[in-house]
């Protein structure tokens, strides 16, 4: 078996792309999207019609609402290809507004249901800010399942677990990027700080019995993926999926619930503790802020494209 086939024995493979052809090629169970991936996709001739149709069909809607229709259109098409779930992201500009996240999550699910998609097949992606986590807590009680994104540190993961979020997406590659820049070290294998962060979170969840799924995300190389074999899910870009499909190098299970016995203390999370722990973690604070800015910037580019088509 190639590496991708081996990985699928231990971990649910998720495609991190808005490209339908890539999703078909690698047969993942789930797929994730974000504003950056959708922006990239709609610039391709084969996906441009989805954007054009949304602009044409909803002339009276605001630009932001048209973007939501584009996201839903991509999600509906992706769900025709995969057997599992698609993740659709709330506008990152709402990251510090609990009520706005709740309202937008409900709105997106209503749009999916109007398109004939059951809510169980959709994960609403929300930034792992304190406000976003509180929104997820409410949405989960409504039966609207959430994928907590832009997650870089244990206090975020602990708070998401306490809130009952369906899934978290710790960002391996962006953690690696920060430490590489800070230290000048080319980390690899088990020494990679991003890999270590996900392992710590996975072990924490298993040790304390949280049901929230852990999905490693934002990979820079195959080594990071292989080191997390056994994680609940891994969302992987098409280029890395192809690299894994092209080699038969051994993939061994590295994470198991039975071995989650690391000496980790339970974190008691309230708002003050959360904010202080994040403040003490320069990497997590900087990467969270940077990620929100980047997603906002790409949403802005989508808005400009739509405005130019009206």
Domains within the chain, CATH numbers bracketed: 3-309 (3.20.20.70)
Per-residue model confidence (pLDDT) at position 35: 86
* Mean local confidence (pLDDT), 74-102: 97
CB 212 within 8 A of CB 168: yes
Higher pLDDT among residues 257 and 268, named by residue: 268
* Mean local confidence (pLDDT), 54-75: 95
Given a cut of 80, whether residue 52 has pLDDT beyond it is yes
* Mean local confidence (pLDDT), 15-44: 94
Per-residue model confidence (pLDDT) at position 262: 65
Tokens of 284: 């997590």
Per-residue model confidence (pLDDT) at position 258: 78
* Mean local confidence (pLDDT), 238-258: 95
Distance CA 197, CA 203 (A): 10
Q: Is the pTM of this model over 0.85?
A: yes
* Mean local confidence (pLDDT), 287-305: 96
Given a cut of 70, whether residue 261 has pLDDT beyond it is no
Catalytic residues: 125
Given a cut of 70, whether residue 254 has pLDDT beyond it is yes
* Mean local confidence (pLDDT), 187-199: 96
CB 172 within 8 A of CB 190: no
* Mean local confidence (pLDDT), 226-237: 98
Given a cut of 90, whether residue 208 has pLDDT beyond it is yes
Given a cut of 80, whether residue 207 has pLDDT beyond it is yes
Per-residue model confidence (pLDDT) at position 12: 98
Given a cut of 80, whether residue 263 has pLDDT beyond it is no
The closest alpha carbon to 124, from 152, 141, 94, 102, belongs to 102
Share of the chain above pLDDT 90, in %: 95
């Amino acid at each position: 078996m190639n590496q991708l086939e081996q990985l699928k024995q231990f971990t649910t493979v998720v495609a991190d792309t808005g490209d339908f052809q890539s999703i078909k090629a690698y047969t993942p169970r789930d797929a994730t999207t974000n504003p950056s991936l959708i922006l990239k996709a709609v610039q391709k001739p084969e996906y441009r019609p989805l954007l054009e149709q949304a602009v044409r069909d909803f002339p009276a809607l605001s630009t932001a609402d048209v973007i939501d229709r584009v996201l839903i259109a991509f999600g509906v098409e992706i769900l025709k290809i995969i057997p599992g779930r698609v993740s659709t992201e709330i506008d990152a500009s709402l990251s510090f507004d609990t009520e706005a996240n709740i309202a937008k999550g409900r709105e997106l699910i209503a749009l999916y249901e109007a398109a004939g998609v059951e809510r169980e097949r959709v994960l609403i992606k929300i930034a792992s800010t304190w406000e976003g986590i509180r929104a997820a807590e409410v949405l989960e009680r409504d039966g609207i399942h959430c994928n907590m994104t832009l997650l870089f540190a244990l206090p975020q993961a602990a708070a998401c677990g306490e809130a009952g979020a369906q899934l978290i997406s710790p960002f391996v590659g962006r953690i690696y990027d920060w430490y590489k820049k800070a230290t000048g070290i080319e980390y690899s294998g088990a020494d990679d700080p991003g890999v270590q962060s996900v392992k710590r979170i996975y072990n924490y969840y298993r040790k304390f019995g949280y049901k929230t799924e852990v999905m490693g995300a934002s990979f820079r190389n195959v080594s990071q993926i292989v080191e997390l074999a056994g994680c609940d899910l891994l969302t992987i870009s098409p280029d890395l999926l192809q690299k894994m499909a092209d080699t038969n190098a051994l993939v061994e299970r590295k994470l198991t619930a039975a071995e989650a016995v690391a000496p980790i203390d339970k974190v008691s999370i309230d708002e003050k503790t959360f904010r202080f722990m994040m403040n003490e973690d320069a990497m997590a604070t900087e990467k969270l802020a940077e990620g929100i800015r980047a997603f906002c910037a790409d949403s802005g580019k989508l808005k400009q494209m739509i405005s130019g088509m009206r």
